[in-house]
């Protein structure tokens, strides 16, 4: 089923920019529906503690999404060109040997693509919750925030463990 094969890098880059655009679209949708003064900072209990204009919220949210997507894209672009001294993995000599370098770069790129997509998904969710809190004027993040943060941290933890386990493997001599 060769026709089902897709380029994972292209797929993940497309989803990364798709999530960025979805986040921007969400902010543009909510913008006219928000009060002029909105909560932009919340304490550990989820209560609003910082306020700004809705234009400031829009600029911050869109700016963060664009900056993060561009940063991840640049990291993916420059990863194959980076000297191995700047990449910290176990058994670096083995994994950056000439015959393993391409596999290593692909594996780290795959991790970075997953990480970037999860991070952008987390940010889109967080910005949506912030817009919703301001729209309904409850000014308190609910349990969805803690679920969102828990799922994000768990996913990053498991991705990182999987990556480290991969690079701890070397053939026995």
What pLDDT is stored for residue 6 in this prediction?
A: 61
Domain residue ranges in the chain = 2-168
| Whole-structure pTM value | 0.91
Q: What single string gives the DSSP state of each residue in the chain?
A: -GGG---HHHHHHHHHHHHHHHHHHHHHHHGGGS-SEEEEEE-TTSBEEEEEEHHHHHHHHHHHHHHHHHHHHHHHHHGGGS-GGG---TTHHHHTSTTTHHHHHHHHHHHHHHHHHHHHHHHHHHHHHHHHHHHHT--B--HHHHHHHHHHHHHHHHHHHHHHHHHH-----
What pLDDT is stored for residue 9 in this prediction?
A: 82
pLDDT in tens, the chain (173 residues): 455 556 778 888 899 999 999 999 999 999 999 999 999 999 988 999 999 999 999 999 999 999 999 999 999 999 999 888 888 899 999 999 999 999 999 999 999 999 999 999 999 999 999 999 999 999 999 999 999 999 999 999 999 999 999 999 877 76
What pLDDT is stored for residue 8 in this prediction?
A: 77
């Amino acid at each position: 089923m060769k026709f089902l094969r897709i380029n994972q890098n292209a797929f993940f880059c497309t989803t990364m920019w798709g999530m960025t655009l979805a986040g921007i679209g969400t902010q543009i949708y909510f913008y006219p529906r928000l009060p002029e003064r909105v909560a932009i900072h919340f304490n550990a209990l989820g209560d609003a503690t910082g306020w700004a204009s809705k234009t400031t919220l829009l600029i911050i949210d869109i700016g963060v999404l664009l900056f993060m997507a561009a940063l991840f894209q640049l990291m993916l672009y420059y990863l194959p060109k980076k000297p191995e001294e700047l990449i910290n993995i176990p058994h670096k000599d083995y994994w950056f040997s000439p015959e393993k370098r391409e596999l290593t770069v692909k594996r780290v790129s795959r991790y970075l693509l997953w990480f970037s997509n999860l991070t952008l998904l987390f940010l889109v969710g967080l910005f949506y919750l912030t817009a919703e809190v301001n729209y309904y004027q409850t000014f308190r993040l609910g349990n969805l925030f803690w679920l969102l943060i828990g799922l994000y941290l768990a996913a990053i933890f498991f991705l990182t463990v999987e990556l480290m386990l991969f690079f701890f493997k070397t053939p026995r001599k």
